[in-house]
Structure 1
């Protein structure tokens, strides 16, 4: 019988306020900001610094094997909020998820074959428009939970989108989608006709990067790679809806990054630098007066005015300039008054800044503010404390597991085991290594400058350790630390780094005292760890990994050489020994994990562990289970006693970038990982069993799924030739297999019952394979397991044609019966099956037989559903009038 293990599942994460790849969005009427945080979405109330909500992808319960959404492809790269509070988030893989209202389980729409670069809700929150890095635009009907159209025309990534025209439900007005792209084109699409009706060229810098529409002034503004903002007059019913009015130069020299109307007639333009500029769109009368004054001044100077009409410079007037200390990524508006607008700016350093800017005064011609007192923007709050400014290079856990320390940039943050930030300890230089001293009250931090700090976690007091001659601990950066309470009579610390020295320090009442120094023949030291002796009672050895690809094993008490471990083709980045002293593990840049015996230095096993360098490892106490992290963004568990492949499980739904460090609490019930995505993640051991063979099969399936990402689009048969916005995947294949299995079982059971009726015998009892259900009821249950249209469409797309006739027959029987069925599900499955296989159905008689019965039954059911909805709607209107 195969051995089973216990699964580690994601429990919480900390350290990320907002991802630099995803823009922020404001929830209407709440003063909350929606941000991408790695692979999750979080809501912040910036004024109070409170994280109010964390939206997960809804598939955390499905943790079997690997997924194409793990690693960088699972990072949230775009978010958008609708007027009704719905939230949309897009991943780098092209997956789009939509949370409607307070729902915790999102809709999933996987229609893009590349990362989604732009998201835009229609004014009534019924349609979500998405733009991909490959130039495709997909319109998603979030009410029907399906993609309605795919618009193909751009040759490069879509940078921004805007919904123009009449998007009200039931309206026959013209619906337009405006898109900008890195190919330098601005396109206007008719959403009903699925056709491009206008293409505008000539974007400055060859890139069009932003577009937005102001309904009050009926103006559209676009940005580009140059300094100019271009103004357009919108006429929805015209053959060419956009009519150019000219351009105006911005104050900043950097290219435009984002454009939004933050209030009626108030435009905000964000650059790729540290500047956000505000403009006002003048009314028609004021713009005409401005144009007349401009013409009069030109005539006074003896210049002939070529055009006396209103231009962009007459309609757009600069208001104010907002600057930040850091490079800005995006902005959103959270509140607007008659005189000020409250903006939230997201920076590329993991911060949110709340600013109040005046919108009453105007700037002079030179760019200075005419009334500085009224126009001065105020920094209300900066949300930065809960976040790391850079990649987290090290993580450590206290002896009792109650505190976790993470080292990033010039600080060390201490967290509780339930994600609460306890303290932030600042350092003069970047911190590269951290370790708790026994007792958990103090910790040791290694700096990039070579310093070694002893830090009191409670008070924040620091004390720098000095060498015997009074110099700093190391001449180069301190890259690794190891702490032991059993190697000597007192607590000792071993440090190593950029200089070819390994130093032993003892800890007492006076702090860290230098005890021994071992030179390593001109080689830099990359990792160090204590290892147990053969009896497993104390830390008898010190293992040092150097840049010459070997690991030196030293006696801990004397620093005398014991053995060198050769075998890696690239330098080792991590080293660690099991708690019983029988095995030593080393992880290297050559992507391998090697297991050694400490007594003779013999190589026991070599494992190709990851797709990139192995950066960290952690043994679970009392076992031969090893946890490894890698620059490929993955975390894996290994059973080093397994005779076959030692791989146990892949930690899913984790980091979106390189993982640099891993640590465990004493009993191994919780693991902590940290990486370049600035996140500290906690993994909790659950009661769910894990079988290594299933994990390996799932990893293979995920690999095959990646190979199918570049499949060509499937054209819809028929006269229209439109492209079906669906994408096949391993999940779709699994869904089709379940439907096919259900159809075959139900068909066989129906044949047995029909034979019994012909013979006049008693029908057999319901088959246990059908869960005791009638055949058609079992088929509908399997269809219902595909929770959304985004899952149903790809599954039916790969369903064999011969089973389509069986499915249509069961749908016709179910709709023609008396029992209650999900009419919407049946109608959707029938319509999509016929749309996909129109030619086969028209050419094959057995496929046409159930159509008449299906048409009559479906029409009857839909009429009943329509009448029911009409009565409910009338009742709601009456209740509203009475209230």
Structure 2
């Protein structure tokens, strides 16, 4: 969800976070996450949350990663890996020191923003967590889930003490009023449910609270529901910062605004409702009149949810609303200002008054509004054409700038004409649209087919092209230039000349034609049919030559190598097959993707090939050795099309995520064995997470809010590598200490004890203590807990000895204190049963107390100094004004 601050908006842009200036409509900064150490591309951003009164913003990703960005500097300051699946909810507390995250893995994690670490994990929901909200006056976290329940969690005892039925079916969003007296919940029903928040004292202050205790104090008390106008489910609920408005975003194009009545207005509304009931009851006979009057007296005095909320305005956008946020009001008469993020890549600013809702401005990115179905590169690789529903766009593939936009039909395939000044696009309506690139217009539209045009391919001599369609026809076209007659009343002279195409001949097929390719030598024509076969014909006579059988599902794409000897086909059965065009034999069948293969293409003058599929991957193959060379990750949805440059040093891909990605060959060499090792490491990490995942309890076993001592982080390859580096450092330190002891004994025996031993180059010029401390410091704070958990107990005991020496020297007191607390908590039972641990623990207790007290005194002194400076500055300002 984009968070609005003054005149800027922040929104998710696939794996990046874009910051826009709404008034100028310009991109201020793009926050790009770094590539992982394993070379994997960052995952898509699924949630955003802005820290209050801070330039930081939290971004949750589809792989469970959470990153904290500094908007002013553009730096990623913190990276957490705690969830196993996509992050679906993020919420800061009021001070911004704590962040709560929910995920599709049904877990809730509390993160310490200042300490850059996870605090604990809450488990109790049985479906995806959809929203979170803090109630700080009673130290409670409220969560909503698709399991239909709203749970209240005590952050002190880390358990769920109340479960309420939030809505009929699934709970999709909730929010707490800024006064923390009211909770709004929305789900799949046509109502917004309200709860009153009780509990003036902290529930965490109770001595013991049992999960099954029926006497537990209820914090959430149902107040009723308010009807909505939109028929779709609730997507997002948020109170305005002032608390006067409640905005309800539906899953469609509507955003409903409700005004919260004051207590006095609510009472007046109750009295009017009571009077209407009494007037209605007086119309019946005497007996019914008395019963209705009695009912009005008993039920009419209570304040209902409809008395608290009054409909204000309904904002209707032109596309589906993906997210919204309240912005700073722009005028004195406006009631509120709202920023919308739409599904067609548009950000809109609205101002709302009592009378109307008006759109002020919009930020439209130059990209497509729907999935990209076709790509084509010009012969000089200087222009990239992309076709989608309603528009064709021309791009500079080097800079990424959008050069032109031409409105067309729903393009399915595209091709540049010779000279690169025109292009032909095949549409879903069956038309061939010839585009004049210089004029940015459609110069000619030919009703070529009665079904969708699935493929267009140029003739090798450049004289024309071939189109194939779902109407079972393969048609041959020749380029021609037509001259239009002058318009009536215009001066006599030559008419405008336009490029067109003339139909030459037709090849009738028995089924839908999905793809057509012509061998570069102009000898053969290959067409793939809906019956999963590939038919090969001679180009000159259209006489049948070969029939290629083998695919179990239709072949969606194919290509022929530059030497006209190999044909590669990609099918919906997830396999690619490499065929020889001399005898039609299948050289190899390879299981290439985990979903349908949408397009394949040879690199010119080679037997290397690229494939893209619905699994979102781009793969690079060696068709001679039949092995995978590279796997390119980056797309966040299905990849539908690709285009390879003439030199083979650049490939462009696009698909359902509406992004165009250009991949360029680098000078850095790669080795096939290393790529295989990376793939094996990714599989190992997936198996590691699966093995570490706890067994899910069944409905009869799982108690509401059942929580154990669950750590916030999760084991990853980075965690294991951090633990291994600590173990290696401890072993090196032990070996170095033994080496120095042996050298000292030999020097004492030789009578040269005053000579310093030679330095160990592995320590990089540091002492043993400094080397181990630097190794521990390099582990990310979010991974330190899991890394220490992986350590063997013997290494943990050795690390305790170093903690004492570091505290005695007064270096890295905060890090050392955190390590000490983690080691004692993780290995508490073994430490109590180990006599050798008694001495370092006693020493550690005194050192920790002294060092932390000194830090506390320093912080108190600094806080007092800052308060003194603030008072002095305030006094100077007052004296200057006087």
Confirm or deny a common fold (TM above 0.5).
yes
Cα distance in structure 2, aligned partners of 1:442 and 1:803? 70
Aligned residue number for residue 270 of structure 2: 291
User: Which shows bigger deviation, 693-702 or 555-564?
Assistant: 555-564
Deviation at 1:500, TM superposition (A): 2.2
Gaps of 5+ in 2: 202-216, 283-292, 483-498, 697-706, 749-754, 874-882
Q: List per-residue Cα deviations over 1:525-557 (Å, max 9, x = no partner).
A: 222234333xxxxx5544333334333444555
Deviation at 1:325, TM superposition (A): 3.6
Aligned residue number for residue 233 of structure 2: 255
Deviation at 1:732, TM superposition (A): 2.1
Deviation at 1:384, TM superposition (A): 4.6
Aligned residue number for residue 34 of structure 2: 58
Higher RCO, 1 vs 2 (CA within 8 Å, ≥6 residues apart):
1
Judge conservation of contact 1:492–1:507 (CA < 8 Å) in 2. yes
Return the match for 2:61 from 83, 87, 91.
Answer: 91
Over 3 Å counting, the alpha-carbon distance change for 1:297 and 1:461 in structure 2 is: closer
Q: List per-residue Cα deviations over 1:137-175 (Å, max 9, x = no partner).
A: 211111111111222222322222111224xxxxxxx42
Cα distance in structure 1, aligned partners of 2:606 and 2:806? 55
Cα distance in structure 2, aligned partners of 1:809 and 1:618? 61
1:19-34 pair list within 5 angstroms: 24-29=1-6, 31-34=7-10
Aligned residue number for residue 574 of structure 1: 557
Q: List per-residue Cα deviations over 1:418-442 (Å, max 9, x = no partner).
A: 2222222212x32111122233222
1:182-221 pair list within 5 angstroms: 182-201=146-165, 203-216=166-179, 218-221=181-184
Aligned residue number for residue 365 of structure 1: none
Judge conservation of contact 2:480–2:502 (CA < 8 Å) in 1. no
User: Which shows bigger deviation, 406-415 or 733-742?
Assistant: 733-742
Q: List per-residue Cα deviations over 1:47-84 (Å, max 9, x = no partner).
A: 54433322223236x353xx5x77xxx33222222222
Over 3 Å counting, the alpha-carbon distance change for 1:609 and 1:712 in structure 2 is: closer
User: What TM-score do you get using the length of structure 2 for normalisation?
Assistant: 0.85
Return the match for 1:426 from 378, 384, 407.
Answer: 407
Match of 2:842, SS state, is helix
Report whether the alignment pairs 1:276 with 2:255.
yes
Deviation at 1:246, TM superposition (A): 3.1
1:379-458 pair list within 5 angstroms: 379-384=359-364, 386-417=366-397, 418-427=399-408, 429-458=409-438
Cα distance in structure 1, aligned partners of 2:668 and 2:770? 31
Over 3 Å counting, the alpha-carbon distance change for 1:496 and 1:287 in structure 2 is: same
Judge conservation of contact 1:58–1:104 (CA < 8 Å) in 2. no
User: Which shows bigger deviation, 691-700 or 495-504?
Assistant: 495-504
Q: CA RMSD in A?
A: 2.9
Over 3 Å counting, the alpha-carbon distance change for 1:63 and 1:186 in structure 2 is: closer
Aligned residue number for residue 17 of structure 2: 41
Aligned residue number for residue 314 of structure 2: 321
Q: List per-residue Cα deviations over 1:327-371 (Å, max 9, x = no partner).
A: 33332122225532222223344443332221xx3xxxxxxxxxx
Report whether the alignment pairs 1:724 with 2:724.
no
Report whether the alignment pairs 1:807 with 2:794.
no
Return the match for 2:455 from 472, 476, 480.
Answer: 480
Over 3 Å counting, the alpha-carbon distance change for 1:834 and 1:313 in structure 2 is: same
Return the match for 2:101 from 130, 134, 142.
Answer: 130
Aligned residue number for residue 597 of structure 2: 614
Deviation at 1:217, TM superposition (A): 8.3
Q: List per-residue Cα deviations over 1:691-710 (Å, max 9, x = no partner).
A: 21111111122123223334
Aligned residue number for residue 529 of structure 1: 517
Cα distance in structure 2, aligned partners of 1:866 and 1:685? 55
Cα distance in structure 2, aligned partners of 1:666 and 1:183? 53
Over 3 Å counting, the alpha-carbon distance change for 1:397 and 1:839 in structure 2 is: same
Cα distance in structure 2, aligned partners of 1:651 and 1:593? 17
Judge conservation of contact 2:411–2:425 (CA < 8 Å) in 1. yes
Cα distance in structure 1, aligned partners of 2:819 and 2:850? 17
Q: List per-residue Cα deviations over 1:761-801 (Å, max 9, x = no partner).
A: 65653333444433333322322332x32222222222222
Return the match for 1:789 from 772, 781, 799.
Answer: 781
Over 3 Å counting, the alpha-carbon distance change for 1:611 and 1:256 in structure 2 is: closer
Judge conservation of contact 1:47–1:354 (CA < 8 Å) in 2. no
Deviation at 1:814, TM superposition (A): 3.4
Give the total of aligned pairs.
805
User: Which shows bigger deviation, 593-602 or 748-757?
Assistant: 593-602
Over 3 Å counting, the alpha-carbon distance change for 1:143 and 1:565 in structure 2 is: same
Cα distance in structure 2, aligned partners of 1:739 and 1:584? 52
Return the match for 1:145 from 91, 116, 125.
Answer: 116
Q: List per-residue Cα deviations over 1:721-774 (Å, max 9, x = no partner).
A: 522112122332233223222222222222211222233365653333444433
Over 3 Å counting, the alpha-carbon distance change for 1:221 and 1:571 in structure 2 is: closer
Deviation at 1:635, TM superposition (A): 0.8
Judge conservation of contact 1:456–1:462 (CA < 8 Å) in 2. yes
